[in-house]
Structures are given as C-alpha cells and as structure tokens.
C-alpha cells in the first residue's frame, strides 16, 4: 500500500482545523508557556471524525514501514485511538489485534488491567501526544510484563518542543526523551515543522497571520 506521509500530514492538519481540534491564538500550556496554537484530540468526538482519525493513524503507521503485530492503547484517550486505527487497518486489508488497559485492576470477570487481544509480539503504543511521557512508560511496563515487545509509539502531533517551563528550557523534547529512554521510534502523523509549512502554503490570510507567532515560539522552545 503506497502512503504519502507529506500529504497525510497536510490532510490531517486540515482535518484538525475543520474539527476545531487545532486552533490558533494564545494558550497557556501546563508548563506555563504561552503557545500560539492548541491541539486537543479529545474534540474528535463523533463517529465520523473518529473513523477518519483512525485512517490517518493507520496511514502514518503503514507509511513508517515499522514491523508490528498488534496495537496497544493506554487509558484513556489511547483506547479509542487504538480501536479506530485497528478498524482502519482492517479496512485496508491488514486485520490487526489490539488491546488496552484499565486504570484499576479488577478481581472479577476477565480480571487484571489488560483488556482485548493477548499482548504478544511487536506492539505499537498509540496515543494523542507525548507530554511528560508517563503513559508511554506505563504502557512499556505493561507490555514487557506481558512478555511482548514495544516496537514503536504512534501519536497524532509532535510539538517538537523542548521540555521545561516558560523560563527553563531543557535540552530535549518529550518525544526525543522517550525515544532515547526506550530505544523506540516515535511516529507522528504531523509535527510542528509540518504545521508551519501548512501555514506558509495556506491561501487563508487569517491563518497566515499566525505564522510569525508560531515561528517565534519555535525559535524559543523548539528542537
């Protein structure tokens, strides 16, 4: 299956804008920085949007040429992301098992913290973004304890932003830190560089007005 990552990225940014998942303005991040853009994957909140979102994830994964056996979605956002990606992969001819976790172990029914297909083989962890990397670390631990091998992390957006806060700027981004800590490739449908290119190429004059602020933010905090 032929995949064009650049087109997939551009189409995804357009989709996120239309769904108002991606917006521009002035937003305070958890780190206390004033960001000129905001991405909230939780706003992909109806069936049509979730179905299309899964297709973007599936395209990015197939385009990466990563060898994988199954998908894992960390609670909570990762659950719907892994499920929609598995559906999109099946529709493209690659039926792929998926599993996810619950936050608290059950001592009845199926029990434990893992739900879905048996966790085995090469596992792709699917989430929306990587901020502190906590859900990735927890997922890696669950997957390894199940006897399987994490092989990649798949996210919607890589902010390409160094860790730290408004005053202290770290050396690496959260994505880079996760990659270094676990030796895992991190695949992103879109990243900050692609977002800037989209703004530069846009015929929407209002969108273009946000480019200087995004460029300044990248100069200050970007990798």
Q: How far apart are the first and last CA of the chain?
A: 32
Asked if 108 is an active-site residue, the reply is yes
Q: Are 56 and 189 in contact (CB under 8 A)?
A: yes
| From 30, 103, 108, 203, the catalytic residue | 108
CA distances from 42 to 19, 34, 127, 169, 221 (A): 11, 21, 11, 27, 25
Asked if 197 is an active-site residue, the reply is no
Q: Are 189 and 12 in contact (CB under 8 A)?
A: yes
The span from the CA of 157 to the CA of 154, in Å, is 9
Closest by Cα among 183, 129, 149 to 68 = 149
Q: Are 16 and 39 in contact (CB under 8 A)?
A: yes
| From 7, 28, 106, 168, the catalytic residue | 106
Burial tier of 109 (Cβ tally within 10 Å: 0-12, 13-18, 19+): exposed
**Residues designated as active site:** 106, 108
């Amino acid at each position: 299956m032929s995949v064009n990552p650049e087109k997939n990225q551009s189409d995804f940014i357009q989709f996120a804008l239309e769904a108002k998942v991606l917006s521009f303005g002035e937003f305070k991040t958890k780190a206390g920085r004033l960001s000129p853009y905001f991405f909230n994957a939780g706003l992909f909140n109806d069936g049509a949007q979730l179905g299309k979102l899964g297709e973007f994830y599936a395209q990015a994964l197939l385009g990466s040429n990563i060898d994988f056996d199954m998908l894992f979605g960390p609670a909570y956002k990762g659950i719907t992301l892994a499920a929609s990606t598995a559906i999109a992969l099946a529709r493209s001819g690659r039926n792929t098992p998926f599993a996810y976790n619950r936050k608290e172990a059950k001592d009845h029914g199926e029990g434990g913290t893992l739900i879905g297909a048996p966790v085995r083989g090469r596992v792709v962890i699917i989430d929306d973004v990587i901020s502190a990397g906590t859900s990735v670390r927890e997922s890696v631990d669950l997957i390894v304890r199940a006897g399987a091998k994490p092989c990649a992390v798949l996210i919607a957006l890589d902010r390409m932003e160094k860790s730290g806060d408004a005053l202290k700027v770290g050396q690496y981004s959260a994505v880079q830190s996760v990659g270094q800590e676990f030796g895992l490739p991190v695949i992103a449908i879109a990243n900050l560089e692609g977002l800037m290119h989209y703004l530069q190429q846009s015929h929407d004059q209002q969108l273009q007005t946000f480019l200087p602020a995004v460029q300044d933010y990248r100069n200050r905090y970007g990798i």
